[in-house]
Amino acid sequence: MGKSKILVVGGTGYIGRRIVKASLAAGHETYVLQRPELGLDVDKLQMLLSFKKQGARLVEGSFNDQQSLVDAVKKVDVVICTMSGVHFRSHNLLLQLKLVDAIKEAGNVKRFLPSEFGMDPSRMGNALEPGRVTFDEKVVVRKAIEAANIPFTYLVANCFAGYFVGNLSQLERLTPPKDKVFVYGDGNVKVVYNDEDDIARYTIKAVDDPRTLNKTIYVRPEDNILTQNQLIQKWEKISGKKLEKISISEQDFLASMKGLDFAGQVGVGHFYHIFYEGCLTNFQVGEEIEASKLYPEVEYTRMDNYLKIYV
């Protein structure tokens, strides 16, 4: 069986661009949606043209033109959507319902991977307001996919390293703190950190794999299951500098939500579930649905290596 043709919707986005790269590297015929709405966004256009130079095919299509989505989808076997879902950037997860309709109408798609790439929304039924909107909307999209009988794979990526590792899991910064680091509770809750390029590689591995059909796949590689304390220790070893640790109690952390804008409140809620409740690791994942076990040939990035770039 040949490699499937893949369409990436949201290909210029943060995770989308890595998925386009991984798809090309794995030798898939790769299509990327080019939306006319990009207007004068020259950076977006240049990125699309650079994909084209690397062998991708650009397909024009718009979420305001349903037929154009159907036509785009008809060209491929697999659709991967990386629609925006981070409140402080852009958040349009429910637009995917139009894509689900297009896939249903086209009728040819063998696998759809919606914009997930985070926590498992099906386990977040008791999540805090207002951050629960992310999980609720992802569940709405899942239900639409399943109601339309579209073959799917949901990829649970856990914490993207760019958002959670370089900053030692501090809110409101992306680089390592210089002197003091805030520690969530006792800092011993297990978290899963992943390099985004590894997420992209696992995503592409999954698209043609019968073992991942209609399944949720978790990216939980053994060496990247770490506590916040372990992450801080790795950084202290690499940087050669000890940081002052300031523990934040659960109550104080939750209270810090007050007075923040909407995106800030969403962020605090998500961090709470990850670092206090342990929502990424408080359930078992069998080997048959864990990405590093399914694809042991992928040399995944360990977080001490990842952190070296921040020195």
Ligand X SMILES: NC(=O)c1ccc[n+]([C@@H]2O[C@H](COP(=O)([O-])OP(=O)(O)OC[C@H]3O[C@@H](n4cnc5c(N)ncnc54)[C@H](OP(=O)(O)O)[C@@H]3O)[C@@H](O)[C@H]2O)c1
Kindly list the catalytic residues: 138
236/277 with CB nearer ligand X: 277
59 with 31: CB under 8 angstroms? yes
Q: Residue 116: how many CB atoms within 10 A of its CB?
A: 24
Using CB positions, name the residue nearest to ligand X: 13
For 242, how many CA atoms within 13 A lie in the half-sphere containing its CB? 3
Closest approach, Cβ 270 to ligand X, in A, equals 9
Closest approach, Cβ 189 to ligand X, in A, equals 16
DSSP E strands in the chain: the ranges are 6-9, 30-34, 57-60, 78-81, 85-86, 90-91, 111-113, 153-156, 159-160, 180-184, 190-194, 215-218, 225-227, 244-248
38/239 with CB nearer ligand X: 38
- 231 vs 169: CA distance, rounded Å: 9
Whether the ω angle into residue 151 lies within 30 degrees of 0, i.e. cis, is no
Closest approach, Cβ 178 to ligand X, in A, equals 24
63/235 with CB nearer ligand X: 63
89/180 with CB nearer ligand X: 89
Closest approach, Cβ 16 to ligand X, in A, equals 5
Give me the sheet containing 6-9, strands edge to edge: 57-60, 30-34, 6-9, 78-81, 111-113
Residues near ligand X (CB under 6 A) are 10-16, 33, 35, 44, 63, 82-86, 89-90, 92, 95, 115-118, 134, 157, 159-160, 163
